Structure 1
């Protein structure tokens, strides 16, 4: 079977266009990713990341919460961390949202110590697509 040059060009152009659209969709979806953390007493938490909108991520984090989560934070192109006092998980805790994971882990731990924690450890952390 012989395919004309015009048909071959159209097929090639169509393949390139489909590839471009699929690639652009992936980039757009990931660059608009959002996440959230819900935190509560005694180390309770729920997390959600890489959602299309902050409101959707927040709803998912609250739904995943393992207790009564009253404190919430959202993140977009960032990382969040939650720290609790290992000697008293129902006591001091800290959290942070920063552009990089190392910054959020350090800040969450500092916040826990700031509020009286004796042996603060990271309970949970998450980054969205760009964090």
Structure 2
């Protein structure tokens, strides 16, 4: 009986975790961003990320069972930036920084990052 109850508890935990596994980033000019993670759906996550943004965040990315990162150039925050969504946090941090340098950044640093429930 104990094994049956434990199995049900673990299955329920997995269902809740996987159903709340959507996230989003809203990215704007001059380092502006908004982030949301562990939402029930992508639309809710996008709306929350846009609402959190303190600026004009025209670019949005979503993540599901993944991590997202946003990098800006410290020498000119209104200049080059990069972002990435990857399965692991280390991959997303590296890719976002690399993109920032590719777009002309001189001293690129991570401005924000987030992982959803499974990232």
Structure 2 length-normalised TM: 0.91
User: Is the 1:29–1:52 Cα contact (8 Å) retained in structure 2?
Assistant: no
Give the counterpart of 2:104 among 95, 116, 123: 116
- The CA RMSD measured in Å over matched residues stands at 1.8
User: Is the 1:36–1:48 Cα contact (8 Å) retained in structure 2?
Assistant: yes
Aligned residue number for residue 16 of structure 1:
5
Aligned residue number for residue 74 of structure 1:
62
Aligned residue number for residue 7 of structure 1:
none
Runs of 4+ deviating beyond 6 Å = none
Gaps of 5+ in 2: none
Q: Report which of the two structures shows the higher radius of gyration computed on alpha carbons.
A: 1
SS of the residue corresponding to residue 58 of structure 1 reads: helix
Aligned pair 1:29/2:16, yes or no? yes
Gaps of 5+ in 1: 1-11
Determine the C-alpha separation between the residues in 2 that align with 1:123 and 1:110.
14
Q: Deviation at 1:25?
A: 3.2
Structure 1 length-normalised TM: 0.83
SS of the residue corresponding to residue 42 of structure 1 reads: helix
Give the counterpart of 1:96 among 84, 90, 93: 84
Which deviations, in whole Å up to 9, do the C-alpha atoms of 1:51-83 show, x marking residues without a partner? Answer: 011111011000000111000000000000000
Q: Deviation at 1:26?
A: 2.5
Q: Deviation at 1:127?
A: 0.1
Determine the C-alpha separation between the residues in 1 that align with 2:5 and 2:70.
44
